[in-house]
Chain A
Amino acid sequence: MTFRDFVSISTGNLWRMKLRAFLTVSGVIIAIAAFVAMLSFGAGMQRNVSEQYEKLDLFNTMQVYPPRDAQPTDTMPPAILDARAVAAISDLPGVKLAYPFDDFDLTANISDTELSISAQALSVEAMNTKAYSHFAAGSAFESDCAKEAIVTEQFLHLLNIGKADSLIGDTLIISVSVASIDSGIVHIIPKMDSTLKERIKEIHFDSLIHAAYTKRIVRRELGNAMMRFLDGFLNAKAVLRDTLIIRGVMEGGQGGMMRIKPVIIPTATAERFSYGGMSDNPADLFAALQSGNLLGTGDEAGGRFYPKVTVNLDPNITYTSVRDSIKAMGFRTFSYAEQFAEMQKFFIYFDMGLGVIGLIALITASLGIVNTMVMSIIERRREIGILKSLGADERDIRLLFLAESGLIGFIGAVFGIIFGWVITRAASLVIKVIMEKQDIPEMDLFALPPWLILTALLFGLLVSLAAGFYPASRAARVDPVEALRTE
């Protein structure tokens, strides 16, 4: 018998018991649909992440962070992520570009709206990387000193503006409160009319001969002076203002992979905002004091510490060599490629988990196949006997029944894949509506790649064949004499 004979006989036999075959196939369809829908979700997530990585060129991007709890050693000073470090990283072989993440808070005025938001300074060179080149409207800065700003779609959302185009060319007034050393120094000296007199009164001059007492007095006075400096530094801030033209609206926003701030300003334009004042974070202040940079006595190349430096890598060079070089400089690194590899591992386990659930459904459906086939043998004993009397051997009978169960699996798999696809489309439609309501960027959470179609088809077929194996062997063993005696 040829393959075509087996298929045609099996099709005829299934057609003969339409209702039973339909119910059995339905079980397989539902199981395969569940299998496809679940794995489709996993595949969709994987595709979305992968596309996002490709879109932003994250496979060739690395983030560099200052070390945690940096402690100077005898041989090495603590690694500081400053302009000098950025330059050193830029010079590493395999590094195409290194640029700092230079962010600051500002107040933005546009039309009649005032917003307190975060901004970041970015060079034109950095703007030209894939990570920052996706515009909903407009384009990048013309130069690093242009009086221009780029805003993100998140900024539009804050302003309740729907159309990105409408902001291009608008004026954005930004103002930044900066802490200054001057205001701190002014506050070191207390008011003469009360505090100094009271303090002098408190000093027991006859006790000054005791070193411990003197130390305590000096410590107390220095401590008070430091407190007054900090008070002045933190509270008496200067306000810097600038007027910028909105040149472009960038896709996405802070929630994205690159955590882009809502307003982006060219580096030279932003310098007076980001670098004109000290950070008002006391931790930065103490770090500056420790490194001798607070009053400009530190290294001239330093001055401002960056929380993060983004490194664009040459795709032809393995990121590990760059990573190791940066780590050797004392910094921490974060590689998106490594993150993606980790995510892929997660996706494998995730897919496996979903696959196992689908497989359980499929195994349950396969019990239906076993039941149908066993019933079929009981009913078709005589037919088996006739076929054997006509010259069918055990292999023919086994293959005939396997072909029937395989056909159930194949039909179930084909329609299951279609049904699974319909389920994902329906779910996608519902999710899309929900996402639109919540202003989440449109994204298809499901994908039906060819490998998933093939896997589902193969699984459906293999599980059905496995389910048909026992009934087929039983059918093959039917004694023709006994079978033909059956009335």
Chain B
Amino acid sequence: MYQDWFKTIDLCRHYQRGQHVVRAVDRVDLAIDKGDFLAIVGSSGSGKSTMLNLLAGLDTPTSGKIEFEDTLLQSLSRRELAAYRAHKVGMVFQSFNLMPHLTALENVERALYFNHTPRRKRRQMAAEILEKLGLHDRVDHHPADLSGGEQQRVSIARALVKNPEVLFADEPTGNLDQGNSIQIADLLTDLNRKGLTVVMVTHDLELAGRYAARIVRMHYGQIIDNSLGETEPGATK
């Protein structure tokens, strides 16, 4: 077991916009334990999505450190960072980010192209995860033929199919109605209960409070509060 399994130290992500410096993430220290369900909340522009992108290895910090399993992400080459995303990380987005020309099955299958999964196993694994998420009758549907909730479940299936160690969800319920939002949130909780570390970004404080074990509030790029939620990590709600 790693101590401080996933942590950031004095993490900064600043942008230069004309003559102004935008401090999207500013001197953030954060530790995430394995199996945690962490919600990062904050208003628009608070830096929560930037924080998620940094943790997922999609963005590179201006300064500070991100350590995952004792590996400094900044020390990784771009190729190694891509491998980190391919093997360790699953990502879910507010707007689902499914490829519209591919079926649900193909969308999920595409995640396995980059982690050396043998060609013949990809389809089987994708079909299995879709079935687990209750989408066995939607495998051949294109995103346009699926509801918002179904699309997000396909998106989650795509993130989970490669068996990641941590799932980053950026406003996963942002585009969903209440019913679908609850279903997705329940699904994430269920996954967390099964041992998956979940880091969710949301502006919905109530949702975060109900489902996340720990809530981190961000404001202007800084953590202003780091408290426990209503739910214990891995606990049944």
A residues near B (Cβ < 8 Å) are 1-2, 4-5, 9, 12, 16, 382-383, 385-396, 480-481, 484, 487
- Considering the chains assembled together, what is the distance between the CA atoms of A385 and B85 in angstroms? 12
Extra contacts besides A386-B99, A395-B79 (10): CB < 8 Å: A9-B113, A12-B101, A388-B58, A388-B85, A389-B56, A389-B97, A391-B115, A393-B82, A394-B78, A481-B50
B53: chain A residues within 8 A (beta carbon): 481
B35-56 contacts to A (CB < 8 Å): 50, 53, 56
B97 touches A484 (CB 8 A): yes
- Considering the chains assembled together, what is the distance between the CA atoms of A5 and B114 in angstroms? 10
Interface 9-residue window, one of B64-72, B86-94, B181-189: B86-94
B50: chain A residues within 8 A (beta carbon): 481
- Considering the chains assembled together, what is the distance between the CA atoms of A301 and B58 in angstroms? 100
Shortest Cβ gap from B83 to chain A (Å): 7
Can you sample 28 A-B contacts with CB below 8 Å?
A1-B113, A1-B114, A4-B119, A5-B113, A16-B101, A383-B99, A386-B97, A387-B110, A387-B114, A388-B58, A388-B85, A389-B85, A390-B85, A390-B86, A390-B110, A390-B113, A391-B111, A391-B115, A392-B82, A392-B86, A392-B113, A393-B78, A393-B81, A395-B79, A480-B58, A481-B58, A481-B59, A487-B95
A393 touches B79 (CB 8 A): yes
Q: Which of A2, A4, A16, A388 has the most CB of B within 10 A?
A: A388
B83: chain A residues within 8 A (beta carbon): 391, 393
B113: chain A residues within 8 A (beta carbon): 1, 5, 9, 390, 392
A391 touches B101 (CB 8 A): no
B82: chain A residues within 8 A (beta carbon): 388, 391-394, 396
A487: chain B residues within 8 A (beta carbon): 95
A391 touches B86 (CB 8 A): yes
A387: chain B residues within 8 A (beta carbon): 110, 114
* In the assembled complex, B158 has its CB within 8 A of some CB on chain A: yes
- Considering the chains assembled together, what is the distance between the CA atoms of A9 and B81 in angstroms? 23
Tell me the nearest residue of chain A to B102, going by C-beta. A12
Shortest Cβ gap from A18 to chain B (Å): 12
Tell me the nearest residue of chain B to A485, going by C-beta. B49
- Considering the chains assembled together, what is the distance between the CA atoms of A233 and B70 in angstroms? 117
B110: chain A residues within 8 A (beta carbon): 387, 390
A481: chain B residues within 8 A (beta carbon): 50, 53, 58-59
- Considering the chains assembled together, what is the distance between the CA atoms of A387 and B78 in angstroms? 14
A390: chain B residues within 8 A (beta carbon): 85-86, 91, 110-111, 113-114, 158
B114 touches A391 (CB 8 A): yes
B residues near A (Cβ < 8 Å) are 50, 53, 56, 58-59, 78-79, 81-83, 85-87, 91, 93, 95, 97, 99, 101, 110-111, 113-115, 119, 158, 162
Number of A-B contacts (CB under 8 A): 66
- Considering the chains assembled together, what is the distance between the CA atoms of A391 and B82 in angstroms? 5
How would you classify the secondary structure of chain A's contact residues: helix, strand, loop or mixed? helix
- Considering the chains assembled together, what is the distance between the CA atoms of A359 and B111 in angstroms? 40
- Considering the chains assembled together, what is the distance between the CA atoms of A484 and B95 in angstroms? 9
B111: chain A residues within 8 A (beta carbon): 390-391
Tell me the nearest residue of chain B to A16, going by C-beta. B101
Given known A-B contacts A16-B101, A395-B79, A480-B58, A389 and B114 have beta carbons under 8 A apart:
no
- Considering the chains assembled together, what is the distance between the CA atoms of A183 and B59 in angstroms? 112
A484: chain B residues within 8 A (beta carbon): 58, 93, 97
B114 touches A392 (CB 8 A): yes
Tell me the nearest residue of chain A to B81, going by C-beta. A393
Shortest Cβ gap from A182 to chain B (Å): 100
Tell me which of B58, B79, B101 contacts A389 (CB under 8 A): B58
A393: chain B residues within 8 A (beta carbon): 78-79, 81-83, 114
B158: chain A residues within 8 A (beta carbon): 390
- Considering the chains assembled together, what is the distance between the CA atoms of A390 and B97 in angstroms? 11
A386: chain B residues within 8 A (beta carbon): 97, 99
B58: chain A residues within 8 A (beta carbon): 388-389, 480-481, 484
Given known A-B contacts A1-B113, A1-B114, A480-B58, A389 and B99 have beta carbons under 8 A apart:
no
- Considering the chains assembled together, what is the distance between the CA atoms of A320 and B110 in angstroms? 68
Shortest Cβ gap from A1 to chain B (Å): 5
- Considering the chains assembled together, what is the distance between the CA atoms of A271 and B139 in angstroms? 97
A9: chain B residues within 8 A (beta carbon): 113
Shortest Cβ gap from B97 to chain A (Å): 5
- Considering the chains assembled together, what is the distance between the CA atoms of A310 and B53 in angstroms? 87
B59: chain A residues within 8 A (beta carbon): 481
Shortest Cβ gap from B98 to chain A (Å): 8
- Considering the chains assembled together, what is the distance between the CA atoms of A386 and B85 in angstroms? 11
B101: chain A residues within 8 A (beta carbon): 12, 16
Tell me the nearest residue of chain A to B85, going by C-beta. A391
Tell me the nearest residue of chain A to B107, going by C-beta. A386
